[in-house]
Amino acid sequence: MSLRKIIFWCHLTVGSIAGVVIFTMCITGVLLAFERQIISYAERGFRVDPPTSGPRLPLESLLEKAHAANPNPPMSVAWRADQSAPVEIALGRNQSLLLNPYSGAILGAGATRTRAFFHSVEDVHRWLAVPTGNRATGRAITGACNLGFLFLVISGPFLWLPRTWTRAAVRASTRLKFSLAGKAREFNWHNVIGFWTCIPLAVIVLCAVVMSYPWANNLVYRITGNTPPAPNGQQQAPANAQSNAQRNRNHEASSPSSDKSEHASPWSGLDALSHKAEARVPNWRTITARLAAPSDPNITFSIDSGNGGRPDKRSQLTLNRKTAAEVRWEPFSSYNSGRQLRAWIRFTHTGEAGGIAGQSIAALATFGGAILVWTGISLAIRRFAAALARRKSASERAANRDPFGGITAQSAPNDPLPLEN
């Protein structure tokens, strides 16, 4: 068997096994391509009219108003340089409150249906929306299918190569023919779309593999000559749980019904720290403060001077809560080459690293990947059905053949009998 046939059968087998999951990830990837812009558009009605005079309310006041409206402990607070943008207080992964930064009025929870939709799509994309207890299994399946998809994308161009390099052969493999039907159409679409999407798909899927497997993530650091970060997911879980429990106790203590309502707000001093974060990056556009427990001596600000999709425009500032002293300053330039590359991989996978153009290319390539799966599975089914038909026809001919090698009268009643020698 030639190398081309070996690669072809491996390509066919992997595509047949992982095709359904790959198709699911491609479709959900297309839906998530412009998530940030769609949510922003859906929440355009929550923008405010900035007053001609008067500063914004302190963050502590806004947090107190949000806590009075929703007792769930806030996880973070984000504000923008755009004076008409509301302040967003996150109460969980998919729950938030939008407030008028000047009056403190509760504007609402934002585009809750839109956010819930994208949240559900992301769950399907990442772990097939399996229950929480089985997410490790879902991640393992999508990770394995990402590896399979990478093999399909790499082996596809090899199989695409024309057997004879002529202008007609190249044209047939690079131009869509909408006049075709059936197997011919699917073969043409599979080859042409595979040719035009192989490079962006290879980049997208390679990034997905890096995000799916720790060994691939560590390889990014090693190829850049850096030491991979120590795994800390299991170590952080108890600390996070303890932090959340402590945060709940502190917020219960600060609620109006508590006997300790006279105690200082758990967010006291946050506004002064926020001004220092704003001064650290004069051209900032969005700042997010992660609200740790009051027992934590430090607070971290994520400062973004871009549109949210460029890791080189992001930096982190950690300040001491009491003294406002700078504990740690981490601009993108301070990261080692491994960490910088890993940060770019996250936003290259979604296309956000290239702005609207990058997102559009990623969306088109991912949609092309879905068509490749559809046409590939259809061609595989046709091949399998044709093989079964050939085998059935051969078995019927063998059953109707007499012991001396002739054809029985039942199989060919209108044929003349074989001549005697």
Between 71 and 11, whose confidence is greater? 11
C-alpha dihedral, 148 to 9 to 162 to 175, nearest 10°? -60
Give just the sign of the alpha carbon dihedral 138, 144, 147, 149: negative
pLDDT for the residue 267: 84
pLDDT for the residue 404: 57
Contact 220, 355 (CB under 8 A): no
Alpha helices, DSSP H only, in 33-134? 35-42, 59-69, 112-127
pLDDT for the residue 400: 78
Two tokens, residue 223: 């190829």
Q: How far is CA 6 from the centre of its chain?
A: 32
Rounded to the nearest 10 degrees, the angle between the axes of helix 182-212 and helix 355-399 is 120
Q: Which of 347, 291, 332 is nearest to 66 (CA)?
A: 291
Q: Which of 315, 327, 321, 322 is nearest to 282 (CA)?
A: 315
Domain-wise residue ranges, the chain: 1-43+111-162+170-226+353-398
pLDDT at 240 over 60: no
**What percentage of the chain exceeds 70 in pLDDT?**
86
Residue 206 sits at the vertex; the CA angle it makes with 203 and 208, to the nearest 5 degrees, is 110
Q: Which of 244, 256, 259 is nearest to 295 (CA)?
A: 244
**What percentage of the chain exceeds 90 in pLDDT?**
71
Give just the sign of the alpha carbon dihedral 125, 129, 132, 138: negative
How many H-runs (helices) and E-runs (strands) does the chain carry?
Answer: 12, 8
pLDDT at 236 over 80: no
pLDDT at 259 over 80: no
Enumerate residues 6+ apart whose C-beta is below 8 A from 364: 197, 200
* Backbone φ, ψ for residue 293 (5° rounding): -65, 150
* Backbone φ, ψ for residue 85 (5° rounding): -85, 140
pLDDT at 248 over 50: no
Contact 107, 46 (CB under 8 A): yes
pLDDT at 172 over 60: yes
Dmax (CA) for the chain in angstroms is: 118
pLDDT tens for 362-413 read 999 999 999 999 999 999 999 999 999 999 888 888 887 766 555 555 544 5
pLDDT at 253 over 90: no
- Span of 137-141, 294-298, 365-369 with lowest mean pLDDT: 294-298
Partnered with residue 90 across adjacent β-strands are: 76, 96
pLDDT tens for 301-320 read 999 999 889 999 999 999 99
- Span of 217-221, 232-236, 364-368 with lowest mean pLDDT: 232-236
Q: Which amino acid is at 87?
A: V
pLDDT for the residue 258: 41
pLDDT for the residue 28: 98
Two tokens, residue 174: 């690079």
Distance CA 18, CA 41 (A): 35
pLDDT for the residue 410: 52
Distance CA 34, CA 253 (A): 41
What integer is the mean pLDDT of 341-349? Answer: 96
Local confidence band at 169 (pLDDT 50, 70, 90 cut-offs)? confident
Q: Is the pTM of this model over 0.75?
A: yes
pLDDT for the residue 312: 96
pLDDT for the residue 406: 57
pLDDT tens for 32-89 read 999 999 999 999 999 998 886 678 999 999 999 998 998 888 999 999 999 999 999 9
pLDDT at 256 over 50: no
pLDDT at 115 over 50: yes
Sheet holding 298-304, edge to edge: 106-108, 95-99, 87-92, 76-80, 286-290, 298-304, 314-320, 326-331
pLDDT for the residue 397: 83
